[in-house]
Structure 1
Amino acid sequence: MNQAFQGKVAAVTGSASGIGRASAEALLAGGARVVLVDRDAAGLAAMQAQHGDAVIPLQLDLLDAAQCKSLVPRVLELAGRLDILHANAGLYVGGDLVDADTDAIDRMLHLNINVVMKNVRDVLPHMIARGSGDILVTSSLAAHYPTPWEPVYASSKWAIDCFVQTTRRQVFKHGIRVGAISPGPVMTGLLADWPADKLAEARASGSLLDPAEVGEVITFMLTRPRGMTIRDVVMMPSNFDL
């Protein structure tokens, strides 16, 4: 078994399901200890029951400002160090803008943009002091194409993609790599908010990724030699590009 992450500590937000869970499981398979950050207590308990002592559950609601601010201090208290941060937690708002609920827009933009920026900002002093670290952010294919059925969600990912690329240029001199993974549609709970016709079309054509496939790409990104940064991987089902 490949133990590329042996001796490392990772934290993954939104890790009780979907891409976050797949990321955590890929890191665990590589030998890391993983702090699972999520508000879903039952999901965290299930992960701990499955993976045992390598898992450190941390129940937080990142939309709460005080709890969000406590993320990095709590991780360091629980695990003593942090080598890898995967800022993955996110929400989805799709459909026509005129039909979108404004409170839902606020929540999505806050989690998809503000929380990611604050989590990354808060981990930087620790990684800078150590002279090493990896930060990975879940972006989306929507960050690279103006997807007409999701103007709010796509805008959040365009913003965070800019954040990743600019922050990467600031911190590489400290031995810190910052990258984004930009999947096309993945079979997760977020797709419950997709327009019904688009979801049916994607299912019928085989145009959906499995979360485990995203986990495999995350492993690839994080296991490159330290002198190499994979700054952004765009991955999609081949049928989705027809």
Structure 2
Amino acid sequence: MSMNLPLAGQVAAVTGAASGIGLASARAMVEAGARVVLIDRDGQALERACALLGSTALPVVLDLLDPAQCATLLARTLALTGQLDIFHANAGLYVGGDLVDADPEAIDRMLNLNVNVVMKNVHNVLPHMIGRGTGDIIVTSSLAAHFPTPWEPVYASSKWAVNCFVQTVRRQVFKHGIRVGAISPGPVITSLLADWPAEKLAEAKANGSLIEAEEVANVVLFMLTRPRGMTIRDVVMMPTQFDL
């Protein structure tokens, strides 16, 4: 294994890969030598991302909220690459603010993408990884998985569910050589913050309490490059100035 290309020979798939943490994660894996399938519903943004990352970045346009399309994730990945070593379940939505003000349809969409789709995607890729006797699954969680964040009850609840899912599935599949872990960043500068209350965002920026997507991607790479006998189950990462 080359120290410069620790993921050489491996294939990764990343959901929500056209922007934010997903794009940063895909870039880090490409730079580490992996072939990476970028999965997103935004075809134009995917094209731009893959043009940026080069020939080892492969786009798959998929609307994960469409159950029929969601079910094709593994098949479409394998059609391009023949194998899958790393799956980063990253796609997610954000709903913040008071529950009384929330749109019920937005609640459905968010829980569907943040929880159900993650479970379905992992269910989809597991048999392939079990058959090969190896694999890495990483889920983008949140600091909100570890603290009952009062300004985002719907979002925080979805991440508490994801945290439980990661810890329970890990214990079912480690006997197959599969590692399952989560990253739990505090506020990251991505499109999800567009939905933050304006005063909260201004306050966070003023305090320097935001982190970059690239910093999260570096942690993903750290998790993936540990010796196989070690699993990083969850990394909670936050800005040093973050008051929580």
TM-score bin, normalised by smaller chain: over 0.9
Task: Give the aligned partner of residue 123 of structure 1.
Answer: 125
How far apart are 1:52 and its partner, in Å? 2.0
How far apart are 1:205 and its partner, in Å? 0.4
In structure 2, distance between residues paired with 1:224 and 1:241? 30
For residues 178-208 of structure 1, what are the alpha-carbon distances to aligned partners after superposition, in whole Å with 9 as ceiling and x for unaligned? 0000000000000011111111110110000
Task: Give the aligned partner of residue 169 of structure 1.
Answer: 171
AA in 2 matched with 1:38: D
Task: Give the aligned partner of residue 65 of structure 2.
Answer: 63
Give TM-score, length-normalised by structure 1.
0.99
Task: Give the aligned partner of residue 192 of structure 1.
Answer: 194
How far apart are 1:209 and its partner, in Å? 0.3
AA in 2 matched with 1:47: A
Task: Give the aligned partner of residue 215 of structure 1.
Answer: 217
Task: Give the aligned partner of residue 113 of structure 2.
Answer: 111
In structure 1, distance between residues paired with 2:99 and 2:61? 32
Q: Find runs of 4+ consecutive structure 1 residues off by over 6 angstroms.
A: none
1:8 aligns with 2:39: no
Task: Give the aligned partner of residue 20 of structure 1.
Answer: 22
In structure 2, distance between residues paired with 1:232 and 1:157? 12
In structure 2, distance between residues paired with 1:26 and 1:2? 12
1:77 aligns with 2:79: yes
In structure 2, distance between residues paired with 1:98 and 1:42? 36
- After TM superposition, list the pairs within 5 Å mapping 1:146-161 onto structure 2: 146-161=148-163
In structure 2, distance between residues paired with 1:134 and 1:122? 14
How far apart are 1:48 and its partner, in Å? 1.6
For residues 71-99 of structure 1, what are the alpha-carbon distances to aligned partners after superposition, in whole Å with 9 as ceiling and x for unaligned? 01110111100000000000000000000
Using the aligned pairs only, state the percent identity: 73
Gaps of 5+ in 1: none
AA in 2 matched with 1:133: G
For residues 135-176 of structure 1, what are the alpha-carbon distances to aligned partners after superposition, in whole Å with 9 as ceiling and x for unaligned? 000000000000010000000000010000000000000000
In structure 1, distance between residues paired with 2:160 and 2:226? 25
In structure 1, distance between residues paired with 2:60 and 2:138? 19
AA in 1 matched with 2:239: P
Aligned residues: 242
Task: Give the aligned partner of residue 233 of structure 2.
Answer: 231
Give TM-score, length-normalised by structure 2.
0.98
How far apart are 1:241 and its partner, in Å? 3.0
